[in-house]
Amino acid sequence: MFLIGQYDSPFVRRVAIALRLYGLPFEHRPWSTFGDADKIAPYNPLRRVPTLVLDDGEGLIESTVILDYLDELVGEDKAMLPRSGTDRRKHLRICALASGLGDKAVSLLYERVLRKEQLALWVARCQAQIADVLAVLEAERAKVTTPYWLGGRIGHADVAVACVVRFTREAHPQLFEASRYPALAAHGERCEALAPFQEIVQPLAPPKG
């Protein structure tokens, strides 16, 4: 199977890191949604990333769907998300907040680099949403005493948060100050020190308008 998308996307990166943590072999096609949209289209008509193309040619789209498939593939004992219960809901909530943060951080970046005249109302809304989600995630992470969000074993929430924190810091450094979000900064550093995170990484290269 092969994964489509560049690793400066927090969504592509979290899927690639999960594949590496699971020990699942894959090829990487670093196609851009702007420059390589026609290449992506046969596998994903939305021309979005990440897209994971399976051995039979089926294209899985959206990181949540892809990770659900990977969890099923490796089995319940190895999966980085509980299959049921309170812990699953807690984990999914953190993943949803992280994904939403990533969406807003990407939207705000596109607004800056693709629009000659930014829409002030949209910029203010995105900045407010980013700040509010960071505040919630900071408070949630500060209460955790274990190495990772739900214990001593890394999970999808940990990967998702670390990936979006890195993206937000690179894309909008004025919106993320480590002194303001110490728990999130420490979480990101802990994850970024792991081998899969160091291997699966790419400097931010936004599209040009």
Looking at residues 28-46, what average pLDDT do you find? 96
pLDDT in the model for residue 209? 58
pTM: 0.96
Written as six digits, the tokens of 146 are 């274990």
| pLDDT tens figures, 127-183 | 999 999 999 999 999 999 999 998 999 999 999 999 999 999 999 999 999 999 999
Beta strands 2-4 and 27-29, pairing class: parallel
pLDDT in the model for residue 118? 84
In the β-sheet with 51-53, what is the strand arrangement from edge to edge?
Answer: 27-29, 2-4, 51-53, 59-61
| pLDDT tens figures, 47-70 | 999 999 999 999 999 999 999 999
